[in-house]
Amino acid sequence: MENKVSVGLLGLGVVGSGVIKLIENHQEKLAHQLGCSVQVKRVLVRDLDKSRDVTIDESILTTNPDDVLNDPEIDIIVEVMGGIEEAKQHISRAFAAKKHVVSANKDLVALHGPALQNAANRNKCDFYYEASVAGGIPILRGIADGLSSDHIQQVMGIVNGTTNYILTQMDSEGVSYEDALKAAQELGFAESDPTSDVDGLDAARKMAILARLAFSTAVDLEDVEVTGIRGIELEDLQYGYQMGYTMKLIGFANFDDHELEVNVQPTLLAKSHPLAAVKNEFNAVYVYGEAVGETMFYGPGAGSLPTATAIVSDIISVIKNMRLGVTGNQFIEPHFKKELKTPDKRHAQYYVRIYAKDQSGVFSTISSLFHEREISFKRILQAPIMKKEVAEIVFITHHTTLENFQEALENLGGLDTVLEVKSYYKVEGDAIT
């Protein structure tokens, strides 16, 4: 191998700029680790005249992808352009040209990761995408390498900084969802169109990638059940706080008896749970392994330099593989056949808040309805609503199956004494109050 490895970038936005900064500023360290220098040789951009927050030789910029993908001196392609179809085409061309690829594109990896990985293997190329999940947190490498000898049973985490910031502000400052979202947009934590974040789609893509890797199972994006944070009311956070819980948008993946469950939903976490202390825009992933027990990965989930750090780490891994002559060998076909858990095999606790007529016997009727489905209550709060002759009842169940809970909830809405089921959420952990 020559004493220089050339890199081509597809995209020069916030993350691409961070990659260039790290490579330029860490040349001495890279040379020490790898025995060669790393050079960014060509960069694909959409607009040559756009002002940028990184100093770069403008002669290496191009608007023609062929200048990057067909350059025989470029060994590694870094895809940070985003989108799906165009990025997929470029990466496929890179593999055909025997170039290795590092990507930060969670949308692409969630939808087409296995197919692209197969294409990489066929061409003896590496395909790494650590930055596609949780920014600068080395969670994929941690699962694939650090926990490779263990049997991972559960992965759950806060993998979207926007929603975590919003829920933290609602919880700590007592502001509404709308005001917290506006603050997140003003600080740059949320896009002008926050749909992907607040509806849980961004987190779902990341959980598909995590579950696929953690459980060696062919998890598709459509296997992930998704509920976002729109409509969460302050009352639920306040009642949760009284009972020892805090609200988070949690990505959850469980694998036992060769059956899989993956979902993203607002969840009341016991304050004693490690994830409950993760605030604002930070991310964290909690992993439970049969041998190692509990582990947690915590850090910034986005941002120019944190994400760029994950990308450059992947570049280093590729170069090490190149020097050893072992590229294109890291992908292993899924070990287990995918079997999704049915509702009768999915167990959890649940929080429910309802409006009911403020009269005697109402709670006894509600309790009997749940008891018929073998559901008991762990915590109960009840308060009258002034001038309405209406009682607000909040309770948390003991563990039950999703099937029994859904049936109880459906029948609860049919009671004459129940005026409205205001909200219900999954509960994780045992609160200490």
Residues designated as active site? 206
Tokens for 235, please give them: 């009352």
Asked whether 44 and 10 are in contact (CB, 8 A), the reply is yes
Q: Which residue has the tokens 């936005």?
A: 13
Name the packing angle between helices 304-324 and 14-25 (round to 10°). 60
Whole-number Å distance between alpha carbons of 228 and 210 = 19
In 3D space, the residue among 260, 247, 220, 19 whose CA is nearest the CA of residue 130 turns out to be 19
| HSE, side-chain direction, 13 A CA sphere, residue 330 | 24
Name the region of 150 (left: φ>0; alpha: ψ -120 to 50; beta: rest): beta
Residue in 12, 18, 15 with CA at minimum distance from that of residue 46: 12
Q: Return the bridge partners of 145, or none.
A: none
Pairing of strands 245-256, 259-270: antiparallel
Strands (E), 11-120: 37-44, 61-62, 74-79, 100-103
Contacts of 269 by beta carbon, 8 Å cutoff, 6+ apart: 245, 246, 247, 248, 250, 275, 276, 428, 429
Q: Is 166 within 8 Å of 177 (Cβ atoms)?
A: yes
Which residue, among 295, 278, 299, has the nearest Cα to 214 in the 3D structure? 295
With residue 16 as reference, give the H or E element that holds it. helix 14-25
Please give the single-letter amino acid code of residue 316. Answer: I
Candidates 375, 361, 373; CA nearest to 415 is: 361
CA angle 14, 18, 22 (to 5 degrees): 175
* Contact criterion met (CB below 8 Å) for 296 and 283: no
